[in-house]
Structure 1
Amino acid sequence: MNDHRRAQWSWAIYDWGNSAFATTVMAGFFPIFFNEFWAVGVAPETQTLYQGLTSTVASLFVMLTAPWFGTLADRHGRHKHWLAAFTVIGVVTTAALFLVGRGQWGWAVVLSIIGRIGFFGGLSFYDALLTRVAAPDERDRVSALGYGLGYLGGGVLFSVNVMMALKPAWFGLPDAAWATRIAFLSVAIWWAVFSLPLFLRVPAAAAQPGGVSSWTSLRETARELRAMPAVWMFLLAYWLYIDGVDTIIIMAVDFGMKLGLPSESLIKALLLVQFIGFPAAIIFGRLGDRLGTRNALLLALAVYIGVTLWAYTLQTEGQFYAMAAAIGCVQGGIQSLSRAYFSRLIPVEQAGKFFGFYNMLGKFAAVLGPLVVGLTAQFTGNPRLAILSLLVFFVAGAALLWRADRLRGASA
């Protein structure tokens, strides 16, 4: 394996490591443990609101700071340094969840917010490094490799964590609560260890020195976007459709619990998404090459529209498994191809600040989506209406993506 391929794999393996936080903590154990252990005795609709606010606060912080940090990283070529800082934040606070006791939902919320800042805050720098390891014609494949390894790595550790929670005696643990707390600790260790190849083997970006401040550069970037219609149209489309995608990831388990589905079934459904998501993300990378990236993205959005409509009528565990399988087929694809598509629209030497905008909009979406779901559940008491509200984001996002691609073609 030559150095170029080794750098691509080292970059992708970071996703193997940090995806454990997305699966075990955000999507899997945190919602269940929050409802049944940390926030025991709190009204169900209030539990949903607290979880929505947890995601919203973390996403709001990342949304406001990502472009500024991205600009700083571009100017000094320090993408890996900032990624390391946010990784340490995420790892330490995830490990600290082990210490939170029964009924201490306030500490659970605070640590989860900081952990999510570490996870999401690092993604701008991680995404920007894609341009350092892959040429434009390689980015669909390499981006898909990252997401594919993320689903597999997150799924492997998650499956071990699930066995610990279901059969704690096999691991010498007294009960499922202890197993869950150990699971949070294992995520921190996993994330830290599998981050190392990126920091050792991925080349650093070249500095882009300039005399203006980061805030001035940020305003200049906003002005540049007005002269790049395909870029800002795609960013608007991405903001809308990724809102629905992220909200489903974050709130799916809570949604199933509110419908009365057993937590064991919800965990199994998440495992199904992970292990289907691994080959599906790789296949979607190839599909983007064959059909065109835009067409592959539109296919994924069509699936999400269908699943959202289906969720409104959800009745059985079997239907929940089928929905999980459908989402697993497209979730990694829509994430990886969006990143690859955007990387072709922007100047490579300014990848940090442009991916800062990209992740800013992604996090702005994550501010609105869970908040809308949480508030709808709070005021209507109907989780089905909350999920159905996401439909407009998928439909509008698809329409704007179509328009963005036409603008891109006209510009070319």
Structure 2
Amino acid sequence: MASLEPPAAAPAGAGAAASVSSLDARTRRGRVFAWALWDWGSAAFNAVATTFVFTVYVTGSSFGDKTANSAALSWALAIAGIVVLLIAPVTGQRSDASAHRKRWLAINTAVVVLTLALMFFVHPSPAYLWFGLALLAIGTVFFELASVNYNAMLAQISTPRTVGKVSGFG
């Protein structure tokens, strides 16, 4: 496991070893920074899609009865939650066993980005309500699956001593 702690001072005459240790420390910091960038960027999905913008948009009167739209939103997100409950442990175990966490993080994130982009085509019409809710549910499922891989990577980029610091940074 990588550590965020700076390497110990090299003995005199060990200039090459000190350069390698310095490079390792920078690499570890770069990995932590790259890991944290995903968390910072992914916050947009929660803010834009599930909390402040898209859910308010699809539960508006442009899509029909506001109460019925809110109920439909609840069902869509409940179904997404059940899907996550059932498949996240399996997909997490699969990515752990294959050691392809980055690949699965990238694939799941790409699906989330695609669903966000497709939300542009949800017109304010009752005919588009279920299309919008399906996109939101799919995006939610893949966001949570991406989060499983993201959280599992914490052990790869931190040590037991630095896990709290790295996690807080992310």
With normalisation by structure 2, the TM-score equals 0.79
3-state secondary structure, aligned to 2:57: helix
Q: 1:76 offset after TM fit, Å?
A: 1.3
2:110 pairs with 1:88: yes
3-state secondary structure, aligned to 1:101: coil
Equivalent-residue separation in structure 1 for 2:135 and 2:51 (angstroms) = 16
The counterpart of 1:2, out of the listed 26, 35, 42, is: 26
1:267 aligns with: none
Equivalent-residue separation in structure 2 for 1:137 and 1:93 (angstroms) = 38
2:151 pairs with 1:138: no
The counterpart of 2:86, out of the listed 64, 71, 92, is: 64
Q: CA contact under 8 A between 2:122 and 2:131: conserved in structure 1? A: yes
1:63 maps to amino acid:
L
1:116 maps to amino acid:
T
Q: 1:139 offset after TM fit, Å?
A: 1.4
1:76 aligns with: 98
Report matched runs for 1:11-90 at 5 Å.
Answer: 11-36=35-60, 39=63, 41-42=64-65, 44-90=66-112
- 1:331-354 Cα shifts (integer Å, max 9, x gaps): xxxxxxxxxxxxxxxxxxxxxxxx
- 1:67-125 Cα shifts (integer Å, max 9, x gaps): 11111112211111111111111111110010111211111111111111121111110
1:3 maps to amino acid:
T
Equivalent-residue separation in structure 1 for 2:31 and 2:137 (angstroms) = 31
RMSD: 1.4
Report matched runs for 1:99-248 at 5 Å.
Answer: 99-103=121-125, 104-146=128-170
3-state secondary structure, aligned to 1:137: coil
Query: Which structure carries more helix by proportion?
Result: 1
With normalisation by structure 1, the TM-score equals 0.34
CA spacing shift, 1:19–1:38, aligned 2, 3 Å: farther
3-state secondary structure, aligned to 2:41: helix
122-131 vs 30-39, greater mean Cα deviation: 30-39
Equivalent-residue separation in structure 1 for 2:169 and 2:51 (angstroms) = 21
3-state secondary structure, aligned to 2:77: helix
Q: How many residues of Structure 1 are paired with residues of Structure 2 in the alignment?
A: 144
Equivalent-residue separation in structure 2 for 1:120 and 1:142 (angstroms) = 20
Equivalent-residue separation in structure 2 for 1:139 and 1:37 (angstroms) = 46
Q: 1:37 offset after TM fit, Å?
A: 5.7
62-71 vs 28-37, greater mean Cα deviation: 28-37
Q: CA contact under 8 A between 2:59 and 2:73: conserved in structure 1? A: no
Post-superposition, which runs of at least 4 consecutive aligned residues in structure 1 deviate over 6 A?
Answer: none
Equivalent-residue separation in structure 2 for 1:6 and 1:134 (angstroms) = 12
The percentage of counterpart residues that share the same residue type is 26
Q: 1:38 offset after TM fit, Å?
A: 5.1
Equivalent-residue separation in structure 1 for 2:61 and 2:133 (angstroms) = 13
- 1:268-290 Cα shifts (integer Å, max 9, x gaps): xxxxxxxxxxxxxxxxxxxxxxx
Q: CA contact under 8 A between 2:104 and 2:146: conserved in structure 1? A: yes
3-state secondary structure, aligned to 2:32: helix
